[in-house]
Homo-oligomer: A and B are copies of this chain.
Amino acid sequence: MPYIDELGVKALKAKEELIGITTDKKNSALKLMAENLIKNNETILKANEMDVITARRKGTKESLIDRLVLNMSRIEGMAKGLIEASEFADPIGRVLLEKDMPQGMKLKKISVPMGVIGIIYESRPNVTCDAAGLCFKAGSAVILRGGSDAINSNKAIVGVLRDALAMLGISRDSIQLVEDTSRDTAAEMMKADNYIDLLIPRGGAALIESVVQNATIPVIETGTGNCHLYIDSIFNEKSAIDIAVNAKCSRPGVCNAIETLLVHKDVYKHILPKIEEEFVKWKVQLRACEKSIKILKNAIPATEDDWATEYLDYILAIKVVDSIEEAVEHINKYGTKHSEAIITDLEESKNKFMRNVDAACVYVNTSTRFTDGGEFGLGAEIGISTQKLHARGPMGANEITTYKYIIEGNGQIR
């Protein structure tokens, strides 16, 4: 039996057990998982140290090491996430619709667990804990397939979470980790439609693309953010500068940071030098179009590739556009349907941008950095969906459930 089948069979059993679990029991388990993480922090930190040492030996970039490293505050962050998940309303059993049918039956549409959720992600060990907690709260068994770089950290975290489940008599297999992180296991997961109801890839563009091309299971794409900020012809200068800097520099490695700045042709000569002044402080490399490069001091020429690239770094592409229409067209052509922002004082431009930009989150006079379940007040998220099916934008526990119709009658036929 292939390795994924072994996990799959166990997940199906756990899924059946989870169907009947009460809200109280789920919440107790989440709290116990949080306690257990803190109690076993030394084990986790030691395992993480092994991963970090190996990664450094392999010459991994420091920005990636930063994603991999755990410390007490990050473990506390994971525990806090679990506590929060224990506090929000149960996503299962919500009555979405209820009616008496004219034929005499009662019809109810009720939220139910997805079943088994597969998550394929890269090297951030906190994703292991967040995803496990959310899937568990959403009543589904989960199969986690993290990056090989974080394998020791992931094993330690999952071990601790599973121990908490076992203490309450809940199947350990509600949370499973793919311990064999050779490439094949990811490929096997993508085709495991016998076991997995929903597959969520969380990571870079190459991972997402591979899943979309190969998966036979329904997928929700997440996380690739080629986001734009467009500065319109009439706008608040302070907002434009503040937001450009915030959206690019506050955390360039995350998906809701901007990668391209679009500027209206009537204002670029005035505003771009001022923005460049700020970017210099952050050592942002500017890659500019033919027009804008002439008025920037330190830019290099942008190529066609730049419009389509998610740098996740202190690099920004800049392009002058003739109109809001051109800005929208550029965004819809090159963007990844994640987060897009406009700075404008014109009502017409606002409306055009909000209506015509095809993205999960569309911002007016605000930084794209707010795309986050927590910031939206929707609770912890399992990822930011960039597709249109099922869920768009921040996906919390409600977004990883499905529903069924229940029809109770007394002999009705059609």
Binding site for B on A (CB under 8 A): 16, 19-20, 99, 101-103, 105, 107, 114-115, 197-198, 212-213, 216, 218-220, 236, 238-239, 242-243, 245-247, 250, 350, 354-356, 358-367, 369-371, 375-377, 387-390, 392-393, 402-414
Contacts and interface: CB of A to CB of B under 8 A. Distances in A.
B411 A403 contact: no
B414 A375 contact: yes
Given A115-B388, A370-B105, A409 B365 contact: yes
A358 B197 CA distance: 11
Nearest to A214: B216
Contacts of A246: 413-414
A351 to B, nearest CB: 10
A356 B407 contact: no
Most buried by B among A16, A388, A392: A388
A361 to B, nearest CB: 5
Contact of A364 (B102, B247, B407): B407
A388 to B, nearest CB: 4
Nearest to A328: B16
A356 B16 contact: yes
B370 A407 contact: yes
A411 B363 CA distance: 10
A387 B243 contact: no
Contacts of A197: 388
A388 B103 contact: no
A388 B238 contact: no
Nearest to A250: B414
27 contacts: A20-B355, A115-B388, A198-B389, A218-B219, A236-B410, A238-B411, A246-B413, A246-B414, A247-B413, A250-B413, A250-B414, A361-B404, A361-B405, A362-B404, A362-B406, A363-B409, A364-B407, A364-B408, A365-B408, A365-B411, A366-B409, A366-B410, A366-B412, A375-B414, A389-B390, A392-B404, A392-B405
A239 B107 CA distance: 19
B20 A365 contact: no
Most buried by B among A238, A370, A392: A370
Given A376-B101, A388-B198, A407-B363, A243 B413 contact: yes
Given A362-B407, A364-B409, 9 more contacts: A19-B355, A103-B370, A197-B388, A218-B387, A359-B404, A369-B413, A370-B407, A389-B389, A392-B402
